[in-house]
Each structure stands twice: as structure tokens, then as C-alpha cells.
Amino acid sequence: MVDRTPAVVSALITPMREDRSIDENALQNLVMYEIEHGSEGFYCCGSSGEGLLLSVEERMLIASLVSEVCKNKVPFYVHTGSLGTREAIQLSVHAQKVGAKAVSLIPPIYYHYSQKEVENYYLDVVNAVDLGVIVYNIPQFTGISFSKESSVMQSVKIIGVKHTSMNLYDLERLGQAFPKKILFNGFDEIFLYSLAAGAQSTIGTTVNVCPKLFASIREDFLGSNISGAQQKQHMLNNFIEAVVKEGIFSAVKYCMTYLGVPSGPCRKPFKELDDGAKLRIEGALRRIEPYL
């Protein structure tokens, strides 16, 4: 099971070569770099890792490569959500095999499944592995929202929620309804405020770039230095605002390349960054330089 220590977890990007194939060496170098710079865990093959643009074989390769670096250092989680249950089980069984701390799944998308069908999707995975399962709540992409009334949350093997939603009321209510489950914040922009609502951990895209800034916000919050935490959250949000304008996933990949860890482009249909975008991203990085 996942421990309940507050953790700053990187929603790991997937380094790629210019032909958009996975760069295995760059991926492992990135994980090592982030551990050295303060990342306390990794969440691979999620939105930031372009998981739904990868084949099943590629997703299993990434989990294996991340496992090799993380072993005996930090925990890692694998996003195994898929369009179908069979693929989700296949990926989850593999994640268990390579030592993942837990798996996490978005609900099945595209088709308008009934609530019972969505519940069965999760329970089929729960019953296929001896691992904790983290529900990935990202309603703006999936059209499905999880709350304290969601029946799937009753399963003891659903150990937590990755709450990528601005609705902090729902986050607080989930925590009150299920005090033994772990609440992972999924929006970097509200990291500080999610802690106040009961989140124990965060899984974020910009954690790739500046885990020290997240850790510093957490330290101030836990030490009751709310003013200091707010100032740092403002700094983080200024950075996030700048990179979101350029395309968050491509921008974070460029940030890591600029910091000395080549990460390549995103898979199409994501567009490449032009020179102007790269200059603006470099300017945003300089403004958070103390935490790089």
C-alpha cells in the first residue's frame, strides 16, 4: 500500500526522439535527474506522459524502465487506464510485476457507459491485481466525476483518488467520507489550497521542473507559514500560466531539455514549439530559478 506521508510526485513526461519514438536512455536519465532534484515519486504514462498516445507495449516498456531507476529509492505509480478493460488489466498486471506501488486509472472514455459499467471496469482491475488502485478523477477530459457518493469508492482496494479538478469542496468531502484513503491533488495551480482541503500528496506536470518549489510550499504549509506558502504558490502559478499558454506538455518537455535533460517533442497531434515560445518559456524558468 501507499504510505500516507505527504509526497511531491512527478507526473512524468515521456522523452522522445525527433521521430517520436521513446528515448529509453533519456527517460532513465530524466528520472535520475528528478530524484536528485527532489522528486519524491513518479506517476508514469498519465496525461503528462502522453499515455493514451502510446501503445500497450510502449506503456509497459516505460513502466519497466522507470522501475529500474526507482528501485529502493522512491515509489512509482503507473497509470493503466485504457479504452477497454482487457488492456487496463494487462497494463495493471504488468505494473504489479515490475514493482509499482499502485496503479491508477481514468474511467473508460468515448462511449457513454452507465455508472454500473464504469464501476465494473474498476472492480475488474481491482480483482485482477494485488495492488492498490487510485481512481483518476479528471472530469473535464472524461465527462465523469467521482465524489463521496460514487459507489466504486467503497472498495477497500481503491486506496485513493487523483483529484484533477478545481472542485476542492468535493476533495474535502471525499476526505471526510473516506479518511483512510489517500487524496492526491492533480492540479498544480491549487497545490497549497488542496493541502488545506485535506490532500496528502500531489501528482503534477510542473513537478518535473521544480519539485523543490512544491516541497517548499508544503514545508511552509505544515509549519503554519501560510503567507510564505501563498507567495510561493503565486510564483508557481505565474510559471504555470506562462507554460500553459505555450502548451503545457510541450513546454515542460522543453523546460527539461533547457535544463540539460533532452526530452524531445510530444507526439502528434501536439504541435512543436516555435522559437518565440521557447524564448518565453526560458524567461518563465528564470523567474523560478532559485527552485530549480
Residues marked active site are found at 136, 162
Q: What share of the chain is helix, strand, coil (3-state, %, to 5)?
A: 50, 15, 35
Rounded Cα distance, 121 and 202, in Å: 25
Q: Three-state SS for 164?
A: coil
Q: Which residues, in sequence order, are CB contacts of 227 under 8 Å at separation 6+?
A: none
Q: Note whether 236 and 217 are within 8 A (CB).
A: yes
Burial class (CB in 10 A: 0-12, 13-18, 19+), 85: middle
**Are 77 and 100 a contacting pair, CB within 8 Å?**
yes
Asked if residue 80 lies in contact with residue 105, where contact means CB atoms within 8 angstroms, the answer is: yes
Continuous segment of H or E residues that includes residue 107: none
201 membership: H or E segment, kind and range: strand 201-204
State the alpha helices, DSSP H only, in the chain.
Answer: 24-36, 56-70, 85-97, 115-128, 139-142, 168-177, 191-197, 211-222, 226-246, 248-258, 275-286
CB atoms within 10 A of CB 96: 18
Residue type, 181: K
